[in-house]
Structure 1
Amino acid sequence: MFASIFGRSLIAATILFAAMAPMHPAQAAALTVVPPGNRSKEQPEIPRASALRSKATNTTYDEKYETIVSLLRKDKKLLGKIEQAATAYDIAPIHIIGALVGEHTYNITVVDSLQTYYVKALAYADLAFSFRYKNVPVQTFVKRPEFASCASQDGSALIWSCRDAIWDEQFRGKTVEGTTYENITFQRAFFQPFYAGQTFGLGQISPLTALQVTDLVSKTSGLPTLSPDRPQAIYRDVIDPDRSLLYIAAIIRDSIDAYKAEGFDISGNPGITATLYNVGQPRKRAHDLALAVANRTGRTLPVENYYGWLINDRLSELNALLYGNGGE
C-alpha cells in the first residue's frame, strides 16, 4: 500500500510544483533567508508538562532521544519512507527527522515497533465519536456568524487557520451570548474527544492540524480529503505510520510556505521548522514576525524554542542518519 501511495505522491508533486508560477524576481529578492543554527546560545526552558511526562515514564530526555535516534538508525525502511515523503513535498528529509526526534524526546516515548501504530489505527476506525465542545459539534459551531470571513478563504489550511484565529479572538476565555468559553485552544476545545493533550501516531499529529493540511495531502499524495464529519478517517491517517509521514511532510511544507508568504525562507533551518511543528499556528507567527520587523521592534528572525534548539544542536548526528556514519 505504501509504495502505491508514494507513487501517486511523487507524480502529483511533480505536476503540482511544475504548475506553480515562478516567483517574481522582486519577491525573491525580498526574502530574508533564515541562517542555519540556533539564535540562542543556551537551550530555552523546557515546559513543566514535558518534564512531568518524562518523570511519569521513569525516563530522561537523553534516554528518550537515544531511543528514537536508535530506532531511526536501525530502521532503514523507515528512513527510506521519510526520504520519499520529503521528496514528494519538496522539503529536505532532515525536517521530518527533526519533527520525529523532537516529539519522541519531549512529548512521548517511542514504541518498540511501528506495528503498534498500525493496530491502533485499525482500532480507532471502529469507534463512534465526534468533535464537539459543550455538546456542540464543531461543524455547527463554525457556522456561527463570527466565522463568516473564513468561508472566503481558499483551501483547508487557510480556512481552519482562520477558524483557529477567530476562536482565540472572539471566544477563548470569554462569555458570548450567555455561554462561557474556557481559556483553552481551539484544538483542545473541540478536537480531544478522548483525553487532554490528545495527539496521535508516529508524528503525534492533532486532528486540527491534519484538517489544516488535508488539501495539500490530497493534491500531493492522492489521499481522500478529511472532514470533521468523518473523525475515524482522521485518526486512521494520523496513526497509520505510512500515511502519517505524508502529513508530517505536509505540515512542514505548509510552515515553510506560510513564512515564505511573509518574506522569510526557513527551509534551511530544521530547528525552526521543528519549533513550528511543536507550537503550530505558522501563519499567525509568521505574520507577527513580519509586523515586528516592519515596526523595527528589534526582532528580525524567527527564534527556536527548546524543541527546535535540540534539533539544531544535534544536527550533525541527525544528518548522519540520512547521509552516512549513522551506523552503530
Structure 2
Amino acid sequence: MQDGTDFEVPTIDIGPYVRSGSAADRAAVAAAMDDACRRVGFMQIQGHGVPDDVVAGLAAAIDAFFGLDAEEKRRWVRPPGENRGYTPPRSESLSLSLGVEQASRMNDFFEAYNVGRSLSDYPWIDLPEPLAEHYAENTWPAVPGFEQHVSAWFAEAERVAETLTRIFADALGLPADLFDDLTGHGIKVLRMNNYALPEGTAVEVDGDLVGMGEHTDYGIVTVLWADREPGLQVLGRDGAWHDVLPEPGALLVNLGDLTARLTNERWMSTLHRVKPPLVGGTIRRRRSAAFFHDGDADAVVAPLAGLLEPHESPLYDPVTIDQHMRAKLAGSRAGVRNADAVRESARVLGAV
C-alpha cells in the first residue's frame, strides 16, 4: 500500500507459516518481514487464517457494546492500573506515554474496552504484587454474545501474534524459541476502540482534534483489525505522517517498544496516531481492535548481543517489562508524563 509518496506499508502473506509451507517459502516470508521491519515497522498481513465469521462476530460485539448509552457503559469502568474494562472518551492521552504534552491533557476522544490474559490463565505462575496487577481478571458486560465473540477473536489474534514472533526469530536469524522465552506468561491485552463523538460535541474539543494521540505500542507486536475508514496515520522515516488504510481482508501489524529494544533499533517501534476526519462538524465513525502481545511482566529486556554490530553500543539499558509497561501506562492513563521515552519523543517532536 502506498499513499502517493515514497512511503509504503508492505503487504506480506504469512500463509507459509500458518499452513506449514516449504522451507523456501518460509524463508521468503522471513526475508520480506525483515525488510518491512527495517524500513517501516508496520505492515499488512494476508494469509493469516482468521475465519470471516470470527471477524464478523468481533465487529458485532463492538457495535453492541459501544451502542449502549453512556451511563450503562460507565458501569464497566475499572481502576486505571488494572488496564481492563471501559475507558470513556477524553480520559486518556497516549502522547504522554512518550513524554510529549498535548495542547490539552486527556484529550483523546476515543472510547475503549479492554480484556486480557489473567493470572488464572497461568496457574503455574506465582507473581508478587505489583507484577500481578498486569494480569487482572476480566469483567464482561451484560451484552448478549459479547464474551463469546470477543473471546473467539482474542484466541485468533493470539495465534497470529505467536506466528509473527516465530517469523521474527527467523527474520533475525535467531533461535526459534527466542520470543517463547519472553512470553510464557505474557501480558496480552485486547483493546477494542470506538472513534465517534455524540452529535454536536466535535466543535467543543479543546485544541487540535485527537482521536488517539501519537504513540508507540509498548510491547513486542500488535495485531490490529480496523475498519476501512480513514484516520490511522504512521510516521515514516521521512519525518512525515502518512495515511494508512487496511486492505480488504488484511490485518495491520506493527512493532512495539520491546522489539525495538531487543533489536537495538535495527527494527524500530512504529509511531502512529488516529486523526479521524471532521466533516460538517461530525466524525465519521471508526472501529478497531488492537491485540497487544507484550511479554512476561518479570522478564528483562535489553539489546541482544547477537544483533549488535562490532563496536556497536546498546541504545537501551536493561529493563523489566513490568517497569517499562508501568511507565507507559502511567503516561497514557494517569497523566504522568513518561520521562524515560527520550528516543521515541524525539522522533515525534521532529515530525513535520
Q: Same fold (TM over 0.5)?
A: no
Higher RCO, 1 vs 2 (CA within 8 Å, ≥6 residues apart): 1
Higher-strand-fraction structure: 2
Normalising by structure 2, we get a TM-score of: 0.28
Normalising by structure 1, we get a TM-score of: 0.30
